[in-house]
Chain A
Amino acid sequence: MSGGAAIRSGHKGDVVVISGHRVGERERTGEILEVLGGPDHVHYRVRWEDQSETLFYPGSDATIRRAQPTSARRSR
Protein backbone atom coordinates (compact mmCIF):
# COMPACT_ATOMS: atom_id res chain seq x y z
CA MET A 1 0.00 0.00 0.00
CA SER A 2 2.86 2.36 0.70
CA GLY A 3 4.92 1.82 -2.42
CA GLY A 4 6.04 4.63 -4.69
CA ALA A 5 8.10 7.79 -4.29
CA ALA A 6 7.24 10.47 -1.75
CA ILE A 7 5.58 13.59 -3.16
CA ARG A 8 4.65 16.98 -1.70
CA SER A 9 0.93 17.05 -2.31
CA GLY A 10 -1.53 14.29 -2.82
CA HIS A 11 -4.36 13.37 -5.08
CA LYS A 12 -7.27 11.04 -4.76
CA GLY A 13 -5.96 7.49 -4.50
CA ASP A 14 -2.52 8.43 -3.18
CA VAL A 15 -1.29 6.98 0.08
CA VAL A 16 -0.59 8.95 3.25
CA VAL A 17 2.10 7.60 5.55
CA ILE A 18 2.65 8.95 9.06
CA SER A 19 5.95 7.79 10.45
CA GLY A 20 6.28 6.40 13.96
CA HIS A 21 7.87 8.54 16.66
CA ARG A 22 9.42 5.75 18.62
CA VAL A 23 11.45 2.67 17.87
CA GLY A 24 9.05 -0.14 17.07
CA GLU A 25 6.07 2.15 16.54
CA ARG A 26 4.18 1.25 13.40
CA GLU A 27 3.58 3.81 10.71
CA ARG A 28 -0.03 4.75 9.98
CA THR A 29 -1.16 4.59 6.39
CA GLY A 30 -4.31 5.54 4.59
CA GLU A 31 -5.74 6.27 1.18
CA ILE A 32 -6.71 9.78 0.13
CA LEU A 33 -10.39 9.84 -0.77
CA GLU A 34 -10.70 13.58 -1.36
CA VAL A 35 -8.44 16.64 -1.48
CA LEU A 36 -9.74 19.57 0.55
CA GLY A 37 -8.70 23.11 1.40
CA GLY A 38 -6.58 25.63 -0.45
CA PRO A 39 -2.93 25.49 -1.46
CA ASP A 40 -1.87 27.27 1.73
CA HIS A 41 -2.84 24.31 3.85
CA VAL A 42 -4.23 21.44 1.89
CA HIS A 43 -5.83 18.59 3.81
CA TYR A 44 -7.44 15.33 2.92
CA ARG A 45 -10.29 13.02 3.67
CA VAL A 46 -8.49 9.76 4.33
CA ARG A 47 -9.56 6.17 4.86
CA TRP A 48 -7.07 4.53 7.19
CA GLU A 49 -6.01 0.92 7.46
CA ASP A 50 -8.59 0.32 10.18
CA GLN A 51 -11.27 1.56 7.74
CA SER A 52 -11.92 4.72 9.78
CA GLU A 53 -12.22 8.00 7.89
CA THR A 54 -10.92 11.32 9.17
CA LEU A 55 -9.91 14.74 7.90
CA PHE A 56 -6.13 14.62 7.86
CA TYR A 57 -3.91 17.69 8.09
CA PRO A 58 -0.36 16.61 7.26
CA GLY A 59 2.63 17.75 9.27
CA SER A 60 6.32 17.22 8.94
CA ASP A 61 6.10 13.55 9.87
CA ALA A 62 3.75 12.73 7.02
CA THR A 63 4.65 11.69 3.50
CA ILE A 64 2.44 11.03 0.52
CA ARG A 65 3.13 8.35 -2.01
CA ARG A 66 1.66 8.34 -5.47
CA ALA A 67 -0.83 5.61 -6.10
CA GLN A 68 0.64 2.96 -8.30
CA PRO A 69 -1.19 2.27 -11.55
CA THR A 70 -3.37 -0.78 -11.28
CA SER A 71 -1.45 -2.50 -14.03
CA ALA A 72 1.84 -1.97 -12.19
CA ARG A 73 0.49 -3.64 -9.08
CA ARG A 74 -0.50 -6.76 -10.92
CA SER A 75 1.96 -9.57 -10.78
CA ARG A 76 2.95 -10.94 -14.12
Chain B
Amino acid sequence: MKTSTPATALIDVLNERHISYELIPHRRTQSAAAEARAVGVDPAHVAKTLVLTTAGEFVLAVLPASERIDLRKVGEVLEAADVKLASEQVLAGAFPEYELGAVPPIGGAGRDRVLVDRRVRDANWVVFEAGTHEQSMRMKAADLVDVATARVADICED
Protein backbone atom coordinates (compact mmCIF):
# COMPACT_ATOMS: atom_id res chain seq x y z
CA MET B 1 0.00 0.00 0.00
CA LYS B 2 1.48 3.31 -1.02
CA THR B 3 0.82 6.14 1.35
CA SER B 4 1.67 9.78 1.88
CA THR B 5 2.00 9.30 5.63
CA PRO B 6 5.27 8.27 7.24
CA ALA B 7 6.00 4.59 7.55
CA THR B 8 4.42 3.17 10.68
CA ALA B 9 7.23 0.70 11.32
CA LEU B 10 9.78 3.49 11.13
CA ILE B 11 7.89 5.56 13.68
CA ASP B 12 7.33 2.57 15.94
CA VAL B 13 11.03 1.72 16.07
CA LEU B 14 11.99 5.26 17.02
CA ASN B 15 9.28 5.56 19.64
CA GLU B 16 10.25 2.25 21.22
CA ARG B 17 13.87 3.36 21.43
CA HIS B 18 12.94 6.83 22.76
CA ILE B 19 14.78 8.52 19.90
CA SER B 20 14.02 12.16 19.14
CA TYR B 21 12.98 12.87 15.58
CA GLU B 22 11.25 15.49 13.51
CA LEU B 23 8.75 15.07 10.70
CA ILE B 24 8.77 17.65 7.97
CA PRO B 25 5.77 17.62 5.64
CA HIS B 26 6.55 19.16 2.28
CA ARG B 27 5.34 19.40 -1.27
CA ARG B 28 5.81 16.26 -3.28
CA THR B 29 9.38 15.91 -4.54
CA GLN B 30 11.10 13.41 -6.79
CA SER B 31 14.75 14.19 -6.18
CA ALA B 32 16.96 14.78 -3.19
CA ALA B 33 17.83 18.27 -4.42
CA ALA B 34 14.15 19.13 -4.64
CA GLU B 35 13.59 17.59 -1.21
CA ALA B 36 16.35 19.77 0.24
CA ARG B 37 14.77 22.88 -1.26
CA ALA B 38 11.30 21.90 -0.04
CA VAL B 39 12.56 21.18 3.47
CA GLY B 40 14.84 24.20 3.53
CA VAL B 41 18.08 22.44 4.43
CA ASP B 42 21.52 22.24 2.92
CA PRO B 43 21.55 19.42 0.32
CA ALA B 44 24.60 18.01 2.09
CA HIS B 45 22.34 17.02 4.99
CA VAL B 46 19.90 15.09 2.81
CA ALA B 47 20.59 11.38 2.57
CA LYS B 48 19.24 8.84 0.12
CA THR B 49 18.70 5.20 0.85
CA LEU B 50 19.58 2.85 -1.97
CA VAL B 51 18.40 -0.75 -1.89
CA LEU B 52 21.08 -3.17 -2.98
CA THR B 53 20.93 -6.88 -3.55
CA THR B 54 23.63 -9.40 -2.87
CA ALA B 55 23.50 -13.15 -2.42
CA GLY B 56 19.72 -13.14 -2.23
CA GLU B 57 19.42 -10.52 0.47
CA PHE B 58 18.79 -6.79 0.59
CA VAL B 59 21.25 -4.26 1.94
CA LEU B 60 20.23 -0.65 2.55
CA ALA B 61 22.94 1.87 1.70
CA VAL B 62 22.62 5.38 3.12
CA LEU B 63 24.73 8.09 1.54
CA PRO B 64 24.59 11.84 0.93
CA ALA B 65 22.12 12.56 -1.83
CA SER B 66 24.76 14.52 -3.69
CA GLU B 67 27.12 11.54 -3.88
CA ARG B 68 27.19 8.47 -6.13
CA ILE B 69 27.48 5.01 -4.67
CA ASP B 70 30.55 2.94 -5.44
CA LEU B 71 29.37 -0.67 -5.70
CA ARG B 72 32.95 -1.89 -5.77
CA LYS B 73 33.56 -0.35 -2.35
CA VAL B 74 30.30 -1.81 -1.08
CA GLY B 75 31.37 -5.22 -2.32
CA GLU B 76 34.64 -4.91 -0.45
CA VAL B 77 32.87 -3.93 2.76
CA LEU B 78 30.38 -6.77 2.45
CA GLU B 79 32.97 -9.18 1.08
CA ALA B 80 30.58 -9.91 -1.76
CA ALA B 81 31.17 -9.82 -5.49
CA ASP B 82 27.64 -9.58 -6.78
CA VAL B 83 26.32 -6.30 -5.33
CA LYS B 84 23.68 -4.66 -7.52
CA LEU B 85 21.09 -1.94 -7.28
CA ALA B 86 17.64 -3.43 -6.85
CA SER B 87 15.39 -2.86 -9.82
CA GLU B 88 12.18 -0.85 -9.50
CA GLN B 89 10.22 -4.04 -10.05
CA VAL B 90 12.02 -5.76 -7.19
CA LEU B 91 11.57 -2.71 -4.95
CA ALA B 92 7.86 -2.53 -5.61
CA GLY B 93 7.48 -6.18 -4.65
CA ALA B 94 9.76 -6.19 -1.63
CA PHE B 95 8.87 -2.83 -0.08
CA PRO B 96 5.19 -2.31 -0.91
CA GLU B 97 4.62 -0.18 2.20
CA TYR B 98 6.88 2.58 0.85
CA GLU B 99 6.64 4.78 -2.17
CA LEU B 100 9.09 3.88 -4.87
CA GLY B 101 12.37 5.65 -4.20
CA ALA B 102 11.43 6.61 -0.64
CA VAL B 103 12.53 3.56 1.32
CA PRO B 104 13.76 4.73 4.74
CA PRO B 105 16.87 3.20 6.31
CA ILE B 106 15.05 2.09 9.45
CA GLY B 107 12.03 -0.05 10.14
CA GLY B 108 12.08 -2.52 7.30
CA ALA B 109 10.22 -5.75 7.95
CA GLY B 110 13.15 -7.78 6.68
CA ARG B 111 15.72 -6.47 9.16
CA ASP B 112 18.01 -5.83 6.23
CA ARG B 113 21.62 -4.94 6.84
CA VAL B 114 22.33 -1.21 6.68
CA LEU B 115 25.47 0.50 5.47
CA VAL B 116 25.90 4.17 6.31
CA ASP B 117 28.47 6.21 4.47
CA ARG B 118 30.93 7.89 6.79
CA ARG B 119 29.98 11.31 5.40
CA VAL B 120 26.45 10.81 6.72
CA ARG B 121 27.72 9.56 10.08
CA ASP B 122 30.10 12.50 10.41
CA ALA B 123 27.29 15.03 10.04
CA ASN B 124 25.48 15.98 13.22
CA TRP B 125 22.09 15.31 11.75
CA VAL B 126 20.48 13.92 8.63
CA VAL B 127 17.25 14.30 6.66
CA PHE B 128 15.76 11.42 4.70
CA GLU B 129 12.44 10.50 3.17
CA ALA B 130 10.13 8.82 5.65
CA GLY B 131 8.68 6.26 3.27
CA THR B 132 6.90 8.89 1.20
CA HIS B 133 7.90 11.68 -1.15
CA GLU B 134 5.77 14.13 0.83
CA GLN B 135 7.33 13.84 4.27
CA SER B 136 10.92 13.85 5.46
CA MET B 137 12.43 12.86 8.75
CA ARG B 138 15.22 14.66 10.54
CA MET B 139 17.24 12.94 13.25
CA LYS B 140 20.73 12.77 14.66
CA ALA B 141 23.06 10.85 12.39
CA ALA B 142 24.45 8.99 15.40
CA ASP B 143 20.94 7.82 16.31
CA LEU B 144 20.40 6.58 12.77
CA VAL B 145 23.57 4.49 12.92
CA ASP B 146 22.66 3.18 16.36
CA VAL B 147 19.03 2.28 15.67
CA ALA B 148 19.80 0.70 12.32
CA THR B 149 22.76 -1.21 13.82
CA ALA B 150 24.49 0.09 10.75
CA ARG B 151 27.99 -0.51 9.56
CA VAL B 152 29.81 2.73 8.72
CA ALA B 153 32.15 2.81 5.76
CA ASP B 154 33.21 4.87 2.77
CA ILE B 155 30.82 3.70 0.04
CA CYS B 156 30.82 6.73 -2.27
CA GLU B 157 32.70 7.25 -5.48
CA ASP B 158 35.94 9.18 -5.07
CA distance A55 to B136 in the complex (A): 11
Contact between chains at B40 and A52 (CB < 8 Å): yes
Who on chain A is nearest to B23 by CB? A55
Q: Which residues from 38 to 76 on chain A have a C-beta closer than 8 Å to any C-beta of chain B? A: 41, 46, 52, 54-62
Contact between chains at B15 and A62 (CB < 8 Å): no
**Known interface pairs A22-B142, A25-B124. Does A54 touch B23 (Cβ–Cβ under 8 Å)?**
yes
For the complex formed, measure the closest distance between the CB of B133 and the CB atoms of chain A, giving whole angstroms: 17
For the complex formed, measure the closest distance between the CB of B117 and the CB atoms of chain A, giving whole angstroms: 18
Contact between chains at A56 and B142 (CB < 8 Å): no
Contact between chains at B18 and A60 (CB < 8 Å): yes
Task: Determine the main DSSP class of B at the interface with A.
Answer: mixed
Who on chain B is nearest to A41 by CB? B15
In the complex, how many residue pairs between chain A and chain B have their CB atoms under 8 Å apart? 45
Q: Which residues from 86 to 136 on chain B have a C-beta closer than 8 Å to any C-beta of chain A? A: 124
Task: Determine the main DSSP class of A at the interface with B.
Answer: loop
**Known interface pairs A21-B140, A22-B142. Does A56 touch B15 (Cβ–Cβ under 8 Å)?**
no
> What count of chain B residues pass the 8 Å CB interface test?
19
CA distance A55 to B18 in the complex (A): 16
For the complex formed, measure the closest distance between the CB of B94 and the CB atoms of chain A, giving whole angstroms: 27
Who on chain A is nearest to B20 by CB? A59
CA distance A41 to B11 in the complex (A): 11
The answer to whether A35 has its CB under 8 Å from any CB of chain B is: no
CA distance A55 to B21 in the complex (A): 8
Which residue in A20, A21, A59 is a CB contact (below 8 Å) of B21? A59
> What count of chain A residues pass the 8 Å CB interface test?
17
Who on chain B is nearest to A57 by CB? B21
CA distance A55 to B24 in the complex (A): 6
**Considering the complex of A and B, which 9 residue pairs feature the smallest CB-CB distances, nearest first?**
A59-B20, A54-B22, A60-B18, A55-B23, A59-B19, A59-B18, A21-B142, A62-B20, A54-B24
Contacts A52-B41, A55-B22, A59-B143 supplied; 14 other A-B pairs, CB < 8 Å = A18-B20, A21-B143, A22-B124, A22-B142, A41-B15, A54-B22, A54-B138, A55-B25, A56-B20, A56-B21, A57-B14, A57-B20, A59-B18, A61-B20
